[in-house]
Amino acid sequence: MSIKQNLDTVLKEIESHAERVGKDKKDIILIAVTKTVDISTIEEAINCGVTHVGENKPQEMVRKYEIIGKKVKWHFIGTLQTNKVKYIIDKVDLIHSLDRISLCQEIDKRAKSIDKVIDCLVQVNISKEDTKHGVMEEEAIDFIQNVSTNFSNIKIKGLMGMAPYSENKEDARVYFKKLKDLSKKIENINLHNVDMEYLSMGMSNDFGVAIEEGSNIVRVGTAIFGERDYSL
């Protein structure tokens, strides 16, 4: 299958799931997850209409950004080490993985130094798996209140979460519901510098269910580019 055909399939699926919940496909942002994907393939995807890309390694993102530049929006979707923040701070459009105060301190400091406010999503560990990063659901509100009070160069724009992998997509639904409920709860508190505009949930195997449960950002890699080759 070509990138174009894969993208068309993904976009059709986004549209049909969006319609089921009375939304338009334009309400859903598709991030093409380009980790391990080479530049020429990313360029091909951009030529087919991709406008948002997601990377999970700072150095890899920088290398690609230097060639591709501002043609697309850049999403950082991986665990972010504090000592790597400086590489991406002037390039990233949305960080999806805000998950600890030490990271907030570093982002806020670096953002101030370039006079920028950085849009971020708080990653929530909805599945409570040890292997998944993110703040625990019970701690999310305290964490967000803390960021709202103390870090003026961070703007919280929503939440990000991942369901545990399962053969059955329907298993993901309960986790996505949980994240949506949490986002509503936070919205109702009305914190300064916090809004719940975005809910980043859903990957290749479960983005349809995620959209039905309120996701408006899906992060899709394999369904567009095929299986990743980590040996590259």
The amino acid sitting at 163 is: A
Q: How far is the CB of 205 from ligand PLP (least distance, A)?
A: 6
Q: Choose between 153 and 208: whose C-beta lies nearer to ligand PLP.
A: 208
Instruction: Identify the three-state secondary structure at position 30.
Output: strand
Q: How far is the CB of 5 from ligand PLP (least distance, A)?
A: 16
Q: How far is the CB of 156 from ligand PLP (least distance, A)?
A: 18
Q: How far is the CB of 166 from ligand PLP (least distance, A)?
A: 12
Separation CA 171–CA 227 (nearest Å)? 22
Beta-bridge mates of residue 187? none
Q: How far is the CB of 64 from ligand PLP (least distance, A)?
A: 15
CA contacts within 13 A on the Cβ side of 63:
13
Q: Choose between 77 and 147: whose C-beta lies nearer to ligand PLP.
A: 77
**Which residue intervals of the chain are DSSP H helices?**
3-20, 39-47, 58-68, 85-88, 101-113, 140-150, 173-189, 207-212, 222-225
Instruction: Identify the three-state secondary structure at position 166.
Output: coil
Give Cβ neighbours of residue 214 (< 8 Å, ≥ 6 apart). 21, 176, 180, 183, 199
Residue nearest ligand PLP, Cβ-based: 221
Q: Choose between 51 and 146: whose C-beta lies nearer to ligand PLP.
A: 51
Give Cβ neighbours of residue 46 (< 8 Å, ≥ 6 apart). 68, 71, 72
Query: CA of 137: how far to CAs of 61, 140, 186, in Å?
Result: 29, 5, 11
Q: Choose between 58 and 221: whose C-beta lies nearer to ligand PLP.
A: 221
Q: Choose between 49 and 113: whose C-beta lies nearer to ligand PLP.
A: 49
Which of 51, 108, 63, 101 is closest to 85 using CA atoms? 108
Q: How far is the CB of 229 from ligand PLP (least distance, A)?
A: 12
Q: Choose between 97 and 153: whose C-beta lies nearer to ligand PLP.
A: 97
Q: Which residues bind ligand PLP (CB under 6 A)?
A: 33, 35, 56, 77-78, 203-204, 219-223
